[in-house]
């Protein structure tokens, strides 16, 4: 009788283990220099092979590593990123504005494949539909930081304080609703902050961020080869350079070459989580 009970118990345990192992889990801005107008869930089963492949491409596991060390800071005199202490000075920061328009999700996928962090600065008018909100959620879930770039991309200097508040806070509220986090960085359209926007950003615990250089709104750089070349070989490329790019066809096409070219020059793509922000 004991042997029969032991055999039954062994069978039950093997069956439970087998069941556990079989379980499944599941763009548009005209911008420029300051004061000038100048983006692992398993796929669902499908009998359509092409659809299954598409699902695999779009479902990317969120980054699980959260870097706690804040060992860089923003230099508001030139908007470069400076190391605190003995951190590596040879870094650049990648930023993508006017997201998520048409190419932000693909840009995020390309950056993720390269393990290249970046900030995606979003406009509220690109978050009007459920599809656009889902794109932003995917970008965030890939581990990318989301920044505030106002709702309509209007020049803040032309707006009343009440309207500026609406332009800024509506985007922070939207981003929080979509991602669960409020933005930590604010970038004013055209780099044109006002006394009011500076104060509001501070109250909202958002650090101001402009840029060191960017070119993809200029006609001569609106192709893959030209924008890749100037972003890699700009005379303004130096330690801590803050690179401005946009959700644009040519920039998206060149993004992989840009990252590889910067790395070939010895630059590290800085994780924005390492930048000291307002607490």
Question: 129: which residues sit within 8 A by CB, 6+ positions away?
Answer: none
Alpha-carbon distance of 102 to 63, in angstroms, equals 23
pLDDT at 279: 82
Q: List the domains of the chain with CATH numbers.
A: 69-274 (3.20.20.370)
What does the alpha-carbon distance between residue 130 and residue 145 come to, in Å, rounded to a whole number?
A: 20
The model carries a pTM of: 0.77
Cis peptide before 100 (omega within 30 of 0): yes
Tokens of 189: 């359209």
State the distance between the two ends of the chain, measured CA to CA, in whole angstroms: 68
Check residue 68 and give its pLDDT: 59
Q: DSSP for 117-186, please give it.
A: --EEEE-GGG--SHHHHHHHHHHHHTT-EEEE--SS---GGGS-HHHHHHHHHHHHHHHHHHHSS--SEE
Which stretches of the chain drop beneath a pLDDT of 50? 1-67
Predicted confidence at residue 234, as pLDDT, reads: 98
Angle at 120 between CA 115 and CA 121, to 5 degrees: 165
Q: Residue 185's closest CA among 214, 166, 168, 205?
A: 205
Q: In the 8-state DSSP scheme, what is residue 275?
A: B
- Which pair of structure tokens corresponds to residue 110? 């390309």
pLDDT value at residue 112: 98
Report how far residue 41's alpha carbon sits from residue 65's, in angstroms, rounded to the nearest whole number. 17
Distances from the Cα of 168 to the Cα of 69, 94, 154, angstroms: 28, 22, 11
């Amino acid at each position: 009788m004991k042997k029969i009970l032991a055999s039954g118990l062994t069978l039950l345990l093997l069956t439970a283990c087998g069941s556990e192992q079989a379980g499944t889990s599941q763009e548009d801005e005209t911008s420029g220099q300051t004061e000038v107008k100048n983006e692992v869930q398993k796929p669902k089963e499908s009998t359509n092979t092409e659809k299954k492949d598409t699902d695999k491409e779009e479902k990317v596991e969120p980054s699980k590593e959260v870097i706690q060390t804040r060992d860089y800071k923003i230099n508001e005199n030139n908007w470069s990123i400076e190391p605190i202490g003995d951190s590596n000075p040879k870094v650049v920061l990648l930023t993508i504005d006017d997201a998520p328009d048409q190419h932000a999700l693909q840009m995020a996928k390309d950056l993720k494949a390269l393990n290249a962090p970046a900030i995606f600065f979003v406009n509220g008018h690109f978050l009007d539909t459920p599809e656009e909100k889902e794109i932003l959620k995917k970008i965030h879930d890939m581990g990318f930081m989301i920044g505030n770039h106002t709702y309509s991309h209007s020049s803040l200097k032309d707006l009343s304080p009440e309207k500026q508040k609406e332009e800024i806070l509506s985007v922070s509220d939207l981003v929080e609703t979509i991602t669960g986090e409020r933005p930590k960085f604010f970038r004013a359209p055209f780099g044109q902050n006002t006394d009011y926007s500076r104060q509001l950003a501070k109250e909202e615990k958002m650090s101001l961020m402009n840029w060191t250089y960017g070119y993809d709104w200029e006609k001569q750089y609106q192709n893959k080869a030209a924008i890749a070349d100037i972003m890699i070989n700009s005379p303004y490329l130096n330690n801590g350079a803050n690179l401005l790019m946009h959700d644009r066809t040519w920039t998206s096409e060149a993004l992989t070459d840009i990252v590889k070219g910067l790395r070939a020059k010895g630059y590290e793509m800085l994780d924005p989580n390492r930048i000291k922000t307002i607490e």
